[in-house]
Amino acid sequence: MTVTTSLEIRSVETAEDFEHFLDVPQRVYADDSNWVAPLRSAIAAQLSPENPFRTYGTLQSFIALDRGTPVGRIVAAINQRLIEREGQPIGLFGYFECSPNIEIAKALFQAAEQWLQEQGMQRMRGPINLSTHNSCLCLVDGFDTPPMMMMPYNPRHYPQFIEQLGWTKAKDAYAYDFPLDHDLSKSFEKGYRIACQSGVTFRPIHTKGPDFAKDCESIYHLFNKAFANNWSSTPRTLEEFLEEAKSLQSLVDPDVFPVAEYNGEMIGFWMGLPDYNIPLKRVAGKLNWLGILKFLWYRRQIDQGRVIAICSLPEYRRKMVPLGLIYLGMQGGLKKGKPYKRAELSWVFEDNYPSRKLIEAAGAKIYKTYRIYEKAL
């Protein structure tokens, strides 16, 4: 579709179109010192026909071109697992990037909305890149610092544009700042002692060989049990989960990834990872030979980490397993020789009060707010 004499919105069909699609963020964030470019290869893999998502979903990518220059992009997607779970024909938008011109944003959303309507969708939700297991959420507050590893980032004009175009808030999520230079409440160490006295054992995650694969499989089943009712989330297959785990294997620091077991069965974990966005910021989205050398050099500057999840089966929470995991995770970060000065606990939905209460009791404070939007089609 042509919007003006110079602006064109078209579906991504050719290899050249896809290269334009991948080029958009470099233009949008050219002057933004906080942006960390995602790996082009990772985005390409997510949108490729070989992605397992294609076995249960469909998508259509669009680009905006102004006199042949890529100035915006969006992906409309249908995740059948989400539709089956929620019982309504709801489509998704994701991978949205746009120059600071609301007419470009309007045209991109019109194209995505029209495609979803043609597929029979009645509502639209996002930003969600195919599923909440990929990047999702729109940053609405906290633009003054770079994003942590595997967290989204966007310019200030995105939420403004989205809301001006008739979208409304579906749910907010928070990122917590967790400085490591303060003492935890004694209740966390006490919780750890109580857990140990109750027969719970703690250890670092295995990072090599068959033991790593076994731990990953246990974490997968724990995720599905503990987060089964997470809003807008759908379970991954074991194969999908293990594929992502393999990509992170070499990045894991076992000192900040404790697991809890009872009678030899994993019942909880604290999933902490070093903030590899610090070296990734230097590679401009490309891990070619030069990018790999830069990554290896600048990874020495990592001084913070991200806690992705604190998980415990409900029946073991009375044994103080979550408190024990927080205590051990923080102790691991403070271990002699460790570089960590702070951590981010993210992301947590605004209505997840049990997790928020626990995190805030540990001394963490909200410092970034994210939003998912919805709109009737």
Residue pLDDT, tens place only, 139-165: 999 999 999 999 999 999 999 999 999
> Would you state the pLDDT for residue 2?
44
> Would you state the pLDDT for residue 318?
85
The bridge status of strand 304-312 relative to strand 342-349 is parallel
Report the SS3 class of residue 183.
coil
Report the SS3 class of residue 268.
strand
Query: Which one-letter DSSP state was computed for residue 129?
Result: S
Q: Report the amino acid identity of residue 375.
A: K
Kindly give the residue spans of alpha helices, DSSP state H, lying in the chain: 15-28, 40-46, 80-86, 102-118, 157-164, 186-197, 209-226, 238-248, 277-280, 289-298, 321-333, 353-361
> Would you state the pLDDT for residue 363?
92
What pTM did the predictor assign? 0.94
User: For residues 73 and 97, is the Cβ–Cβ distance under 8 A?
Assistant: yes
> Would you state the pLDDT for residue 4?
53
Cβ neighbours for 359, distance < 8 A, ≥ 6 positions apart? 176, 178, 310, 345, 348
> Would you state the pLDDT for residue 225?
86
Rg (CA), the chain: 21
Q: Which domains does the chain have, with CATH numbers?
A: 7-173 (3.40.630.30), 182-340 (3.40.630.30)
Regions of the chain where pLDDT drops below 70: 1-5
User: For residues 62 and 108, is the Cβ–Cβ distance under 8 A?
Assistant: yes
> Would you state the pLDDT for residue 1?
46
